[in-house]
Chains A and B, each alone.
Chain A
Amino acid sequence: MAVPAISVEQLTRVYSSRKGFLFNEVTRTEALRGVDLEVAPGELFGLLGPNGAGKTTLAKILSTLLLPTSGRAHVLGLDVVREANRIRPRIGLVLGGERGLYYRVSGRENLRYFADLYGIARSEREPRITEMLERVGLGDSGDRRVEEYSRGMKQKLHLARGLLHAPELLFLDEPTIGLDPKSARETRKFVRALLAEGVTIFLTTHYMFEAEELCQRIAVLSKGKIVATDTVPGLRRLVGGDRTFEIDGYGFEDSELARVRALPGVSRLVTEEFGPRLRITLRVQDPQLELDRVAQCLLGHPELEVRERRTALEDIYLDLVEEEPA
């Protein structure tokens, strides 16, 4: 059996911060609370979660930039605490955003520096830099100073740097954040190409459609714990069906909502208020249940707007994150 690319058992991470000058008050924040997960070699694994859920903390522990408080984590079969130096040459880390580059020198010079830190053979260094610049679409601007780059170009340079040493496992933290749609699409295309080359990818993102489009399996992290790990269809089943009904109307009675909830095949009912208007969202498991039957439970509301759609990853995500107790 192949060694998992990533294997995590009961991983915890607690941040301590101090306040005050003479009498320090120590605040402890649990960023990860017993995380378990496994990623297979060659898989594109997505990690979703709200802000502060612990996504970046987990990615940093796995990329040896942070030590866990307890638990175990292995990357490419190596322990992240004891064997970090053996892991580092084999993984790539791409942190999104504007920072993380030497902006007064050229993109090529940035890559040259990191190629030397990674010890890429001198004979391979320049061809590899040129190849990476061309692959990410910076072939013509590699010799320009990074301070002249747009945000999208900086993101591409981050990608080129993360891939320069041909890592077996790539950590992508919000790779398309802040990018225009065209650049974001190019980045996703690039990620798919890497996957086809056999690179294992661990992606953290806020963008549901991106995760749905790219990831083979997804874990949802909420308040430091993994609340679900599965494929997108598997997650749909988990939250109660791949069909979603949305019903907009006014003045629904509790008894009417109870009748809808009791319909066979309705696995979940959520209400949201939009001013005086109320939206009922139903997760539906039974393929026989028709919209008409739902509307019959709400006959006193002729102004009803009723629609059916496929359950999106965003629905699943919100169901999972909102269900998680504090």
Chain B
Amino acid sequence: MRTAVRPSRPRAFFASLRLSLLLFLADPQWVIPATIAPVIFGFAAFELYSGSGATLVLYAILGAGMMSMWGQTLYGAGWATSQDRELGTLEPTLSAPTSYLWVVFGRIVVNAVTGLVGGLVVFAVVSLAYPHPLPLQRPFEFLLLFAFVLVTLASVGLVLSAVYVYTRYAGFINNFGEFGFYIITGSMFPVVLLPFWTSPIALLLPPTWALDALRYASLPGYVGFRWGFVGDLVGAVATMLVYLTIAGSVYHRVETHVLTVGNLQEY
């Protein structure tokens, strides 16, 4: 019996998205990154900033939410590929007639969305615990930008995931990258408080710009980068496009490299 076979990138993307979601929910550990960790981040932020005024509380919430989202995105980029190596599914997946880039992209999106849920949990927890209403300036824009930050995170995750296909030391890179990014992108502290030499690095990362735009949209009287909200958006889109272009070109080379080295089964 002949079967009509027409590989397509969207099919691969949605197949990966669906499988990632099923695997995520099948592992009871999902409760920790998706709910428990954000609640802890939320309470920590609340305790630290509750006496400092509503704006600072909101600032802290955003940081905690970003940490949750970034952690999950990086997890999606790195651990999914490591898991494929560990399970021995990297070879059959790469032997399918679809670019692995789309498979990874699906996984990153699932993990980033779970991170988004985590970020919203943080927001909900602190909103309920804080006795005063939080001064969210433009709620609609806030939600849109929240999702946009997620896309910028995914673009960085996509580039990093190429490295994870290349090497089996994804866990090490994950752990190193997670905390470095919290600091560099301004999730934890405003970038302006960091040493001057970190600024160029921060500006190379799309989430830095997107996060600043998000703060402009949500915090009353926020003073971030001098180019303002629109400049932030332009910077975020531009850097994100650079990352997506890099991911597209790097992936083909990485796939060729792993087929040359022959280390797909190592983990």
Contacts and interface: CB of A to CB of B under 8 A. Distances in A.
Contacts of B262: 15, 57, 60, 66
Given A60-B262, A109-B22, A113-B19, A119 B87 contact: no
Contacts, number: 108
A190 interface: no
B176 to A, nearest CB: 18
Contact of B15 (A65, A95, A117): A117
Contacts of B260: 67
A116 interface: yes
B96 interface: yes
B245 interface: no
A74 to B, nearest CB: 17
A112 B15 CA distance: 8
Interface string A37-67: 0000000000000000000010010011111
Contacts of B14: 116
A145 B98 CA distance: 26
Contacts of B27: 104
Contact of A120 (B4, B18, B23, B259): B4
Nearest to B100: A117
B193 interface: no
A309 to B, nearest CB: 40
Contacts of A180: none
Interface stretch (A2-10, A85-93, A253-261, A267-275): A85-93
B256 A118 contact: no
Interface residues of B, number: 36
Given A102-B23, A166-B2, A116 B11 contact: yes
Interface string B34-75: 000000000000000000000000000000000000000000
B89 interface: yes
A112 B27 CA distance: 19
Contacts of B103: 117
Interface string A142-185: 00010000000000000001001110000000000000000000
A93 B93 CA distance: 11
A165 B89 CA distance: 17
A118 B19 contact: no
A124 B22 contact: no
A67 B259 contact: yes
B26 A104 contact: yes
Contact of A124 (B4, B7, B15, B23): B4
A99 B92 CA distance: 11
Chain A contact-residue range equals: 35 or more
B99 to A, nearest CB: 9
A101 interface: yes
A97 interface: yes
A117 B12 contact: yes
Interface string A113-155: 1101111110010001000000000000000010000000000
Nearest to A147: B26
Given A88-B95, A101-B89, A119 B19 contact: no
B19 A102 contact: yes
A105 interface: yes
B87 A89 contact: no
B14 to A, nearest CB: 7
A317 B1 CA distance: 36
A145 B27 CA distance: 12
A67 B92 CA distance: 16
B237 to A, nearest CB: 31
A113 B15 contact: yes
A252 interface: no
B87 A100 contact: yes
A97 B5 contact: no
A196 to B, nearest CB: 13
Nearest to B86: A99
A119 B91 contact: no
Contacts of B22: 104-105, 109
Interface of A: 15, 57, 60, 63-67, 85, 88-89, 93, 95, 97, 99-105, 109, 112-114, 116-121, 124, 128, 145, 161, 164-166
24 contacts: A66-B262, A88-B97, A89-B97, A93-B91, A97-B88, A99-B89, A101-B88, A101-B89, A102-B19, A105-B26, A113-B15, A113-B18, A114-B92, A116-B12, A116-B14, A116-B15, A117-B11, A119-B7, A119-B8, A119-B97, A120-B3, A120-B5, A166-B1, A166-B2
Given A118-B96, A120-B5, 5 more contacts: A85-B97, A95-B91, A102-B19, A103-B87, A119-B98
